[in-house]
Amino acid sequence: MAKNRKFTFIDKSAPAEDQIKEIEAVGYKRAVKSYQGSSKAKIVEVEWETKRGELFSKLQPLPLGRKKKLGR
């Protein structure tokens, strides 16, 4: 069975109580897609821990998806 990971989304433009949100998902892309539906931010910081225990952090521009379909 696939191991879900915890992804922490930090939105600096949101109010203080809504800045940090944790989402549990199998992969990075699924976590970002589930977060971007509930957020109006243009860029967020994402932090997560890999299966090996390494910590990663990335600035992710939103929306993440297919550029072809977004322009229609």
What's the pLDDT at 54? Answer: 95
Residue labelled with tokens 């922490």: 8
CA torsion angle 30 58 3 40 (round to 10)? -30
> For the chain, how many structural domains are there in total?
1
How distant, in Å, are the alpha carbons of 10, 18, 52 from that of 35?
Answer: 11, 13, 24
- Residue at 71 is within a domain: no
pLDDT, mean of each 10-residue run, the chain (72 residues)? 90 89 95 92 94 94 77 59
- Residue at 72 is within a domain: no
- Residue at 37 is within a domain: yes
Q: Residue 61 pairs with which residues in a beta bridge?
A: 43
Reported pTM: 0.85
- Residue at 22 is within a domain: yes
- Residue at 28 is within a domain: yes
- Residue at 70 is within a domain: no
Range of the domain at 39: 5-65
